[in-house]
Amino acid sequence: MNVDEFGLILFVERFEQCVSFYQNRLQLPVRRRQEMLVCFDLPIGYLMVEKGGVAQLGEKTRIHNPTVLRFDVKGLSKEVHHLKERGIHFLEEQRVFDWGTIAVLLDPDGNRIELGEVNAKSASYRT
């Protein structure tokens, strides 16, 4: 398979709130906007937010959404601080594992998002 680019499509119910969240709070750059979808640029591809999903108050369970959006960052505590300044609420600001640390937040539809920082010694998990 000769892949040109990787993308993820996230179907949401609270479309305008989710678009605002990803654009203004997470500050992802908009690649393309249409009536039913907005496509955001990522360093490794794209995230498309599209109408047609189901929202939930609080975090969706794995039964309702067995997917987590993970954004690996350098300087997790700094990123958490910046996002908190933009009004982001975190379910967890620092959860430590042997491979690294994550922070957990939700988008307006209840989709789980993790910011991750991989330990230098564990960086090989990507290969």
Is this prediction's pTM over 0.85?
yes
Predicted local distance difference test score (pLDDT) of residue 122: 66
Query: CA–CA separation, 116 vs 102, rounded Å?
Result: 4
In this chain, the answer to whether the domains covering 7-54 and 65-126 adopt an identical fold is: yes
Hey, which CATH number is domain 65-126, 3.30.720.110, 1.10.3720.10, 3.40.1410.10, 3.40.50.720? Answer: 3.30.720.110
Percent of the chain at pLDDT > 90 equals 91
In CATH, what number does 7-54 get? 3.30.720.120
Low-confidence ranges of the chain (pLDDT < 50): 127
Q: Sketch the domain layout of the chain as residue ranges.
A: 7-54, 65-126
Predicted local distance difference test score (pLDDT) of residue 127: 47
